[in-house]
Structure 1
């Protein structure tokens, strides 16, 4: 496999809704844009869906539905909706890693293909393989694809309050640029 280009297909999203007569309809059926997140890094991300409120609003009818993701450039602020949820897919190149970080979110990660190693800030590691699911609950962590194959993960990221342990608030933490 090439280390410079993901072998996985583009991500297709199909979004349903209603007509003004309340009949079900397909609002979107399209390939999502592959977004490259870091210079000189082949990892890529697909923005699939975002809502900025829970419960979500499914009331918009065909023609009124607004794609919230299309209006925002990809970055840390679009990966998390503090009042809602985001669905994204990540392709991790062989050897690629993320920095140690903590988000104010509850993250459900599903390993679609390949494997990925989770490292917590105390050095504990856990390798997850195809079909495994991680529930990431606000710990400081990083990801690394330690294999020579690409890994694809799907994420559902739900906004959460900052973790508080014994009166200490553990807020978001990102490396300095």
Structure 2
């Protein structure tokens, strides 16, 4: 695995809303904090936005904003909003892997730079390249950056009911600690 930090720039988020007289306003224009998700401080995530309901609530005015920015610590308990959606950016170091897991969500991943290999529980693999989009529909899977270049992916994760196949509920699954 690479021993150098991500070459990608920090992620800037701009969030709009309204004033008390219903005029558009910029609520936030800021660089998001990079949160490290690996012990070596190489793989990282930027929490961009989170809403805990769909349809989202765009009500509220400047200073009384009701939605939630995804500034909570990153972890399996904050990866998905069961009734809403989360937007994040992941940077995967060369050689980085994720554990096999399943979330109760519908995930849309866009490969911005680099390549990433998806592995399903049955061993099937598919390599995704810059510009590709993955729609992850509650299957057990893992990710691996098999290249010697960094990979950046943009994710929109929408809460979903547990997958049910022929009466069998396939709920969330994470590796045992």
Q: Provide the TM-score with structure 1 as the length reference.
A: 0.96
In 1, Cα distance between equivalents of 2:38 and 2:80: 18
Q: Superposition pairs for residues 1-177 of structure 1, below 5 Å?
A: 3-65=3-65, 67-70=68-71, 72-177=72-177
Please say which of residues 112-121 and 36-45 is displaced more in the overlay: 36-45
Stretches of structure 1 that go unaligned for 5 or more consecutive residues are: none
Query: Post-superposition shift, 1:68?
Result: 3.7
For 1:119 and 1:176, the matched residues in 2 are separated by 19
CA deviations over 1:4-39 (Å, ceiling 9, x no partner): 300000000000000000000000000000000121
Count of residue pairs the alignment pairs up? 175
| Structure 2 portions without partners, runs of 5+ | none
Q: Indicate conservation of the 8 Å contact 2:54/2:83, yes or no.
A: yes
C-alpha separation in 2, matches of 1:161 and 1:15? 29
Aligned equivalents of 1:14, 1:85: Cα separation in 2: 17
Contact 2:70–2:86 (CA<8 Å) still a contact in 1? no
CA RMSD of aligned residues (A): 1.0
Q: Contact 2:48/2:69 (CA < 8 Å) preserved in 1?
A: no
